[in-house]
Amino acid sequence: MRRMLAERELTVEGPLRGNGARGKRRSVTVNLAESPLGWLHARGHLDDRLFAAGERLRADYERAQLGANVTMRWDPVRVKSTGDQGLTATERQIAAKARFDGALREAGSGLQDILWRVVCACEPVPDAEKALGWPARSGKLVLKLALDRVANFYRVE
């Protein structure tokens, strides 16, 4: 996997703003291609089981093509299907949607929001907490509970 790194200038209060706010500056390297889930896993906040469950959920989300789409499809036309037990592209999409819905149902109504925001929409945990109106630093704990239920659904060991 190729890492996309970028330098960002930070202050004590956060990123520098256009209003000329000054503070103590430092520069950090950030991997722009790293997902919030990957970031948590790389820093030891998620174990391998929870990370694998999140990746399975995101894979089903993408296979089911649940994200935003444009009106014109530019995918190449495929005539022959290989693998996937002889399923057509539409059947694979429907199966992925069924698995995704089942995983969210297993997580429960209170945990679906954080799962979708962090795992599928790739929102950082602090942004998801703010959007959901949760206290700071509560999202990671709730995300772990949700991923544990998803891991049980996918039977991740």
What's the pLDDT tens digit per position in 65-99?
888 776 666 666 655 555 556 788 888 999 999 99
Residue 33 has pLDDT above 90, yes or no: no
- Report helix, strand or coil for 77: coil
Q: Is the backbone of residue 83 left (phi > 0), alpha (psi -120 to 50) or beta?
A: left
> What pLDDT is attached to residue 79?
55
Taken as a whole, the chain contains a residue count of 157
Residue 3 has pLDDT above 90, yes or no: no
78 vs 38: which has the higher pLDDT = 38
Report which secondary-structure segment, H or E, holds 43: none
**Lookup result for tokens 């000054």:** 22
Average pLDDT, the chain: 82
**Lookup result for tokens 């790194």:** 5
Q: pTM for the complete prediction? A: 0.73
> What pLDDT is attached to residue 150?
97
